């Protein structure tokens, strides 16, 4: 059996754009075969493969061709040329489309299930799950045209996720509903990943793509511009969107950046006696986001006592986070900071030098400085955590690197069984008769 769930070969899609509806008739009956339309190539010679069980993220700016590709994969559109091979039942989860406004929510759910070939008994069981997941009460029996946008989105997600497809194609679905429903959607997406389902996930939420996806693909102007590791692809995409930098341009120093030599005195500010025994993590090969005015060259997380690497912790230890930064262009009021994320990609801890009430007035081109955070790590729930680090001025990011250093928190006492982010260390409990 083929390991490919989806195989796309040389697919192109060209739309005919007419200025007026009557131009279609003029073109049909034109004896000279005059063209009254303009060809718009939405996709051009697209080829890629998705393995069974793979979680592929797709990114790209609006109008790049992402939605056209998804509709071809779900067989809503036919490609102008090329071939598409699909192994399994497909569900296109694209909020806001696909329902008959005159039918009730229940009838729309039943019809969507019928299209995938399920029997009446199977549909009956799925409808119970769909109704429970959508959680829109009596409105499930009302015509969809009476729904608010939130109810429409709830029903759309509930139908798409509960008809048990082999391949789920999700287009911008994690922004639906209120917080309670969003969390329910996130849990369901994680279940899909754990079950080994094949998922194609399109989103502008880069953090979600990095958290969920095994790999990613960047669609640019109708072609596959980049495919590979999710973090590498999304970082390159962010640099393009935020700073208009292509992947091969990011490491190049902008012409406006002054590359002054690093003085011996400034080198000692990093490699001096205080941190001479620190085990640094070199960051030169890691993808980063920013305008290039500064570069974080190395980082280290060590125990404040003895400077041993902090890879496995219990919580409540005092630690040092060190950032070795090369300043490439003058910076006013720079801000150094970090975020610690949990295994699900959600922020657990965050701070910066401003929050620490330690402002930095100015940095000059050519400086090599060491930014250090000394803090007591809170008692965190057992699990894996990872750092993202950065330096910026105002709202302008100079350099940011995500997922740069992973560490584990593990404690064997009863406190380690608490859920949530932080562990309650000194709680008291009383039981009295009233």
* All CATH 2.70.50.60 domain ranges in the chain, comma separated: 264-417
Calculate mean pLDDT across residues 65-90.
Answer: 90
- Which residues belong to CATH 3.40.50.300 in the chain? 4-243
pLDDT digits 0-9 by tens, 299-356: 999 999 889 999 999 888 999 999 999 999 999 999 999 999 887 778 889 999 999 9
Going from the C-alpha of 341 to that of each of 349, 361, 402, the distances in angstroms are: 7, 29, 10
Question: In terms of pLDDT, which residue wins out, 385 or 210?
Answer: 385
Q: Which of 95, 122, 100 is nearest to 111 (CA)?
A: 100
Per the structure block, which two tokens stand in for 249? 């341009």
Phi, psi torsion values for 241, nearest 5 degrees: -70, -40
Q: Per-residue pLDDT tens for 158-206?
A: 887 787 788 888 887 666 556 667 667 777 877 887 888 898 988 888 8
Contact between 155 and 176 (Cβ < 8 Å) = no
* From the candidate CATH numbers 1.10.10.60, 2.70.50.60, 1.10.3720.10, 3.40.50.300, the one assigned to the domain spanning 264-417: 2.70.50.60
Average pLDDT over residues 19-34: 77
Confidence band of 276 (pLDDT split at 50, 70, 90): confident
Query: Is the entire prediction scored with pTM above 0.85?
Result: no
For 91-118, what is each residue's pLDDT tens digit? 887 665 568 889 999 998 888 788 767 8
- Fold type of domain 4-243: Rossmann fold (3.40.50)
Q: Name 56's Cβ contacts closer than 8 Å, sequence gap at least 6.
A: 50, 199, 200, 201, 213, 214, 215, 216, 217
């Amino acid at each position: 059996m083929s390991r490919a769930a989806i195989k796309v070969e040389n697919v192109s899609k060209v739309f005919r754009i007419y200025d007026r509806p009557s131009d279609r008739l003029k073109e049909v009956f034109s004896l000279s075969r005059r063209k009254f339309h303009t060809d718009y190539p939405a996709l051009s010679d697209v080829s890629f493969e998705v393995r069974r069980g793979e979680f592929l993220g797709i990114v790209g700016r609006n109008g790049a061709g992402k939605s056209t590709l998804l509709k071809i994969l779900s067989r809503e559109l036919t490609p102008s040329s090329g071939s598409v091979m699909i192994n399994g039942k497909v569900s296109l989860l694209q909020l806001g489309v696909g329902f008959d406004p005159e039918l009730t929510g229940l009838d729309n759910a039943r019809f969507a299930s019928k299209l995938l070939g399920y029997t009446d008994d199977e549909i009956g069981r799925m409808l119970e799950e769909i109704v429970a997941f959508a959680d829109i009460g009596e409105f499930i029996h009302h015509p969809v045209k009476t729904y608010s946008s939130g109810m429409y989105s709830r029903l759309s997600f509930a139908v798409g996720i509960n008809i048990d497809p082999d391949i789920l194609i999700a287009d911008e679905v994690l922004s639906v509903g209120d917080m309670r429903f969003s969390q329910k959607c996130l849990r369901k997406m994680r279940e899909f990943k754990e079950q080994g389902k094949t998922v194609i996930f399109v989103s502008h939420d880069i953090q979600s793509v990095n958290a969920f996806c095994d790999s990613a693909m960047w669609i640019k102007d109708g072609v596959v511009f980049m495919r590979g590791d999710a973090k590498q692809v999304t970082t390159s995409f962010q640099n393009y969107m935020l700073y208009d930098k292509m992947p091969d341009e990011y490491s190049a120093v902008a012409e406006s950046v002054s590359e002054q030599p690093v003085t011996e005195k400034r080198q000692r500010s990093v490699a001096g006696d205080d941190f001479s025994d620190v085990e640094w993590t070199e960051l030169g090969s890691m993808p980063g986001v920013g305008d290039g005015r500064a570069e974080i060259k190395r980082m280290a997380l060590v125990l404040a006592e003895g400077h041993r690497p902090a890879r496995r912790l219990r919580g409540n230890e005092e630690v040092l986070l060190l950032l070795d930064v090369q300043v490439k262009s003058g910076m006013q009021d720079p801000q150094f900071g970090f975020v610690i994320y949990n295994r699900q990609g959600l922020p657990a801890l965050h701070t910066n030098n401003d929050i620490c009430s330690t402002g930095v007035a100015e940095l000059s081109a050519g400086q090599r400085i060491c930014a250090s955070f000394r803090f007591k790590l809170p008692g965190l729930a057992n699990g894996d955590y990872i750092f993202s680090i950065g330096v910026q001025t105002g709202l302008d990011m100079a350099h940011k690197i995500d997922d740069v250093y992973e560490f584990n928190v593990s404690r064997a006492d009863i406190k380690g069984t608490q859920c949530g982010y932080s562990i309650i260390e000194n709680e008291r409990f009383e039981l009295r008769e009233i």
